[in-house]
Structure formats: structure tokens, C-alpha cells
Structure 1
Amino acid sequence: MMKRTFLALAVMLAISPGPGATAEKLMIETFDDRPETRWRFIADTVMGGVSTGEVDFRTENGISYARLTGSVSTENNGGFIQFRTTLGTPPPDGTEGVRLSVRGNSQRYFVHLRTTGTLLPWQYYQAGFEAGAEWAEVRLPLAAFEPSGWLLADTPGAASLTSIGIVAFGRDHEAEIEVREVGFY
């Protein structure tokens, strides 16, 4: 019980900015301590698509990360695989964007954000990035996220964020992306 209490306190301190701290230091995930309980794999098969894939969680040289792999197919009105987590609380006021540490197969990938205003399953905000062969930091300002439809606000607000997903999307290709950090700045 004491170990669980200590772990909960450590997690709260890691994701909660203290007095005088900024959103710059807000980390929501480093893929340590059972990330499979927080992240789930989703494919276009939920709507009739035929894309296949998986997310698995690994540790290499003391660094934990998530690895999304699979075949994205636009057949049958499909075209995505992703892994997503629900945010327990939105990021703090002053949050300007999403920060990732990624590597991959030199392809274009996306972050999808859902908000309190994305009520339908196919609604989201999207911003793209490249995932090269070496670990690199990616910063995506909230203003760079585009709505998936005309019923959504032009830009997602930090206070309304409810989930974040890492997505291989929109074209036929083989996906391979690894993510070792997800946070906000």
C-alpha cells in the first residue's frame, strides 16, 4: 500500500506543475509503469476498414517507449491505425502545444486531439510531423491542429482537451513509429 501511495505521489509531482512552474515541464507520458493500462490501439476496422497493426511497449537501454507498427490501407473507406490515451485532466492554462520525442521510418505521422467539443467518433483535430530514424523532439502548436470538419472550432483549446492519439493516417503505407515521451509545452 505504501509503495502504491508513493508511486501515485511521484506521478502527481511528475505531471503537475508546482508553484512557479510552467507548462513547459508538463509530461503526461514516458511509457514507464504499465503504459498498456493507459494507451489503447485503434484501427479503422471499427468502421469497416481493413488496416492492421499493433502497439507494443518496450524498454531499450533504460528508455521505455511505445512502438506502433502496421499496414495502413485506404480500402473500404479506411486509412488509419493509432494508439490513444484519455487525459485525466486537461493541460494547465498557458499550454501552447504538444511535445513528443519520436523516431520512425522517415514517414509522416499525425497527432489527433479530441476535446469536449468532438462528440462524434470521427471528429478530431490533427497536426502532422515527420518521424526520422533518430530520436528527435517534435513540437506542435495548438494553432497548427486542424479540425476534421466544419462543425468544430478552428483551434482546440487546451482546457477542452480530453485525449491524444499518435496516428498513421490517410494513405496506403507501412507504419513504424516509436514514441518515448508525450507532453505539453
Structure 2
Amino acid sequence: MNTWNWILAPLLILGGAGAVHAEEPFETFDVDPTKRWEYVADTVMGGVSSGALSFESEDLDSYARLAGTVSTANNGGFIQFRHLLATPLSKGAEGLRLRVRGNGEVYFVHVRTKGTRLPWHYYQAQFETTANWTEIRLPWSAFKPSASLLRDTPAAGKIKSVGVVAYGRDHSAKIDVSEVDFF
């Protein structure tokens, strides 16, 4: 082995190790997700939507499933599952990444920040689902405020919760999420 091989070999090994052992996503739903995620429906404010959150496994994939019926009757219109963040995100995070599949409906991600003080304040981004697993990337600029008093886009370091939501119209919901991460 020549001198360059001795110098480059450790660098290649370290570089390869970093690529092979990439950092785990924020959430993969494989270890006690019931301790981190909760189901919430519009029934907390008089709505009549119904559904459930379950945690499933299939072909070595663990995932969360939100399923139910969204009804706009009685001023309702949502079911969701959400995670309250224990620690703040890095201020450098540029957005949210999900791995999802569903029934072809449009779904939403709601994030709440330290500035979303009222229950109906949040930032919302929408995405579509298909029957196949798909990666969805939502930059913070895709999130729109629910009220004019909020900033135009959420500040990553101030986000305190993330929710996957079936929202806004009468429909049957069924969405699976196997990964949640920030980029």
C-alpha cells in the first residue's frame, strides 16, 4: 500500500460510516409511540367527527394510522394525531419530512409555536396521499398561518407541536405515517 492509501483509507472508512449510519429520523413509530403521540378530534369543542389512532407494523415498517370520519356538522371538521415537542427544534431546520400513504385524500400538517396562543391558531401545510408510500417534504414557507396576527411562516426554533390532520370537509380519512423528520 502506498502512502496515499494509508492517508485516504481512514477518511474513506469514516465517510462511508457516516453515509451508511445516517442519523435516525425524529420519529419512526417503533418504540412506545403512545407515549409521544395523542389523538384529538373536534369533539373537544362540540364537533361530531370520529376516528382513532393506532400503531401498526407491516414488513418491518412501524407506522401510525389515523382513520375515521370527518364531519363539518356542529362547527366541527377535524381528527388528528399530534406530538408535543419536549425540546425545541434547531433554528436551522428548514422544514418537515414525512413518509406517508393514504386513501388519496388531501391531508394537512399543523404546527403550533410559542406564538399560537389560542386553540384555533396554527400553521398549516397540505399534501396529497396515494396508496403507495411517498416522501413528502414541506418547507416552513409552505405553512400558512390560520390567523392574521401570526407571523407569515413558523420559526423552527419556536415550534412546540406537530400534528397530522384530516381537516375541513366531510370525508373518510385513512392515513399512515411511518416517518416524521426535520430537514
TM-score interval, normalised by the smaller of the two chains: 0.7 to 0.9
Partner of 1:82: 80
The runs of at least 4 aligned residues of structure 1 exceeding 3 Å deviation read: none
| Superposed CA RMSD | 1.4
- Give 1:167 shift: 0.1
1:170 CA drift (Å): 0.2
Is the 2:91–2:155 contact (alpha carbons within 8 Å) kept by the matching residues of 1? Answer: no
Q: Is the 8 A contact 1:26 1:184 kept in 2?
A: no
Q: Which residue of 2 aligns with 1:100?
A: 98
How high is the TM-score relative to the length of structure 2? 0.86
Map of 1:115 onto structure 2: 113
From 170, 173, 177, give the equivalent of 2:171: 173
Are 2:89 and 1:91 aligned? yes
Return 5+ residue gaps in structure 1 as ranges: 1-19
The alignment partner of 1:122 has SS state of coil
**Which among 42, 51, 54 is matched to residue 44 of structure 1?**
42
Q: Which amino acid aligns with 1:65?
A: Y
Q: Which residue is equivalent to 1:16?
A: none
Gaps of 5+ in 2: 1-17
Which residue pairs with 1:13 in the alignment? none
Q: How many residues align?
A: 163
Q: 1:54, 1:113 → 2: CA distance?
A: 20
- Tell whether the 8 Å contact from 1:58 to 1:66 is kept in structure 2 after alignment: yes
Identify the residue that residue 155 of structure 1 maps to in structure 2: 153
Which residue of 54, 58, 62 corresponds with 1:56? Answer: 54
Equivalent position SS for 1:57:
strand
Q: Which residue of 2 aligns with 1:145?
A: 143
